[in-house]
Chains A and B, each alone.
Chain A
Amino acid sequence: MDSVFLFIQILNGLQYGLLLFLIASGLTLVFGIMGVINLAHGSFYMIGAYMALSLTQLTGSLPAALLLGIPIALVLGYGMEGLFIVHLYRRDHLDQLLLTYGFILILNETQSIIWGDDAHGVPVPSWLDLSLPLTDTLSYPVYRLAVSGVCLVLAIAMYLVIQRTRLGMMVRAGESNREMVEVLGINIRQLYAFVFSAGICLAAVAGMLAAPIESVYPGIGEQVLIISFVVVVIGGIGSIKGAFVGSLLIGLAQVFGQVLLPEFSGAVVYALMAAVLLWRPTGLFGRA
């Protein structure tokens, strides 16, 4: 492979990794802070993608769809937390697993009822519908770069919120010590409701941003779910930094697995995960 294509493949891997980060960050927040495993996370990615489809048809523009979709996702997350997840904080993971599995079944079938079983394309906003030429034959879609940019901005914003704000302090405290949060007089119920809604919202935003790239079709959510799990495992539960590094690693592994080990490319990311676990059982940035 010559150096130009090597460079392009690295770009491919990073770009895919950034998209994964968007999905996995919400997952790792909910895991890390609330100790809740949410199998339905991928379903909210799917809902985001379908919202992008319907709302762009409605408003004619993806940014407008995003503006409408974010509050909807927040409300969905808030409702789900308040009605269902709240009963699970004192239960074991088995119950969390099953309850959120029930949600997968319901949300998948609901998607089929509302939107049908066709595949749909979501148009790229016309002002981003350009390509940058990279070689004689190959060019890079600007929208993909723009999405990468948005993911980077979100990653930095999350970092700043968590490190620099009072909200972030509560989040960090909740992550490390639930009792301490109570001592600090923080309303843990509100904190959890907020974190869960934010997690769902991140998944939905990822779905909306990805919709023009990924297209929209049934089953789109389950595929990203397991790969996001792998990201969280590699990065370490609850660590945004870990999710970021893990996403990029997975993105690169996916790309170079396809190029170098085509026969086993499906298993490459899992092999990477196994290697990381051998080295660090709690992930790259996980606490012991």
Chain B
Amino acid sequence: MRYEKKRSASRRTVIKGLGAGLGLAAAASFPAPFVRAQSAPVKVGILLPYSGTYAKLGDAITNAMMLNIAENGDTLGGRPVEYIKLDSEAAPPKATENTNKLILSDKVDFLVGPVHSGVAMGMAKIAREEGVITIVPNAGADQITGPLCAPNVFRTSFTNWQPSFPMGKVLLDKGLKNVALCYWNYGAGKQSAQGFIDGFVPNGGTIVKEIGVPFPEVEFQAALTEIAAANPDAVYVFFAGGGAVKFVKDYAAAGLKDSIPLYGSGFLTEGVTQAQGAAAEGIQTTLHYADTLDNPENKAFRAAYKEKFGAEADVYAVQGYDTGTLMRIGMDAVGGDMEAKNDLIAAMDQADFASPRGPFKLSAAHNPVQNFYLREVKNGVNEVISVAYEGLADPAKGCTMG
């Protein structure tokens, strides 16, 4: 891994002239020659979706992360912070190009992003090669902190496997032994399903039916009919966003809600209960966060977020907020000296703090070790019922670190 950097003051002007002439110029800003000093801003490059389906997540993460750093006087390790935002468009073909831009052209000190797992893969590829400290604030692809894990790559969210794993035990405890699985048949859906299976089958549960719906198809009638035909004790699903809204409503409209209880990974009811309405009432899910978590950090965070942005914080905001915390921990440890990168990484690696989601620390693979909460939708709110699993770490299969 290369930590040293080459910088030349005149380079940018040369490129600017030539690049503009050829139309190649990344019309990024061209600041005055970099002054190597502790007072020079820390550059945080943010690659998140600001357009398209995932724009809402990108905004929440960005807002909360900036809120966190603003609470620290807009500094990291005593240095001011400069943000460089880039729209990822949730488009994997552009992931490496955008990452290159932030790392090679803007020379960011920290790289934050993305939401989409495909983009995360492209980003991780470059981040691993260039060695820039990277924090993934959402994308849950297991590989990032699995086979692709790297000392400079951190995650403040979850692996797709994580939220589903605790539910296996929850269902068995309720005596629900025959379960049908239904999920979007793509990376996140399959990994989520695997998480559930890992927590369910070895403990004596049986998967009576597994239904993969082609992503991002939202026509669920066929799947619902299959579920009804299998007549399981319960159904466990992975859907998110618009698909989650539709599935929950369709499930209720098909009359299944009263006969076969519906469980899911927390994204099923995250940020969409308004749209789901009455159909969501009573659905239980597991996630590493709930809006109603009763701890002082959460209350303070939610109040501050609401005051500043006029909107309720959500799980994505928490992940963004903790991204800020993680950067603060690292930068405080080295007093803002990016040259002390190994120390910085070591400090982040050892991070152990009280997050709005509860206790937060990192596994050897740099994925959060965190509580998973069993939640139930009551009056459109995900109320915490219990801690379904305390301090769950991802198995990080294939990671050779630590």
Interface residues of chain A, those whose CB is within 8 Å of chain B, are 1-2, 5, 8-9, 12-13, 15-16, 108-109, 112, 116-121, 123-124, 131, 133, 135-141, 143-144, 213-220, 223, 254-256, 258-259, 262-263, 265-266
Q: Please give the distance in Å from A230's CB to the nearest CB on chain B.
A: 13
A109 to B212, CA, bound (A): 31
Closest to A9 in B: B225
Task: Given the known inter-chain contacts A131-B253, A220-B242, please indicate yes or no for A5 contacting B229, CB distance below 8 A.
Answer: yes
A215 to B254, CA, bound (A): 16
Q: Are B219 and A254 in contact (CB under 8 A)?
A: yes
A-B contact count (CB 8 A): 133
Q: Are A219 and B221 in contact (CB under 8 A)?
A: no
A188 to B197, CA, bound (A): 62
Tier of interface size on chain B: 35 or more
Q: Are A218 and B53 in contact (CB under 8 A)?
A: yes
Whether a CB of chain A sits under 8 angstroms from the CB of B94 is: no
Q: Are A121 and B249 in contact (CB under 8 A)?
A: yes
With a cutoff of 8 Å between Cβ atoms, the chain A residues found around residue B244 in the complex are 119
Whether a CB of chain A sits under 8 angstroms from the CB of B172 is: no
Q: Are A138 and B211 in contact (CB under 8 A)?
A: no
Which A-B residue pairs are the 4 nearest by beta carbons?
A217-B242, A139-B255, A266-B214, A117-B56
Q: Are A16 and B221 in contact (CB under 8 A)?
A: yes
Q: Please give the distance in Å from B58's CB to the nearest CB on chain A.
A: 9
With a cutoff of 8 Å between Cβ atoms, the chain B residues found around residue A138 in the complex are 224-225, 228, 254-256
With a cutoff of 8 Å between Cβ atoms, the chain B residues found around residue A112 in the complex are 51-52, 55
User: Knowing that A119-B241, A137-B231, A219-B52 are A-B contacts, what are 18 other residue pairs whose CB atoms are under 8 Å apart, sorted by A's residue number?
Assistant: A9-B222, A15-B221, A112-B51, A117-B55, A118-B271, A119-B272, A120-B274, A121-B245, A121-B274, A131-B255, A135-B228, A139-B255, A219-B53, A256-B222, A265-B185, A265-B212, A265-B213, A266-B217
With a cutoff of 8 Å between Cβ atoms, the chain A residues found around residue B245 in the complex are 119-121, 215, 217
With a cutoff of 8 Å between Cβ atoms, the chain A residues found around residue B277 in the complex are 121, 123
Whether a CB of chain A sits under 8 angstroms from the CB of B223 is: yes
With a cutoff of 8 Å between Cβ atoms, the chain B residues found around residue A9 in the complex are 222, 225
Chain A to chain B contacts (Cβ below 8 Å), 28 pairs: A2-B229, A9-B225, A16-B219, A109-B51, A112-B51, A117-B59, A119-B241, A119-B271, A119-B272, A119-B275, A120-B274, A121-B249, A133-B255, A136-B259, A137-B231, A137-B259, A140-B254, A141-B254, A144-B221, A215-B242, A217-B53, A218-B55, A223-B218, A256-B222, A262-B211, A263-B185, A263-B212, A265-B214
Whether a CB of chain A sits under 8 angstroms from the CB of B387 is: no
Which residues of B (189-217) have their CB < 8 Å from a CB of A? 211-217
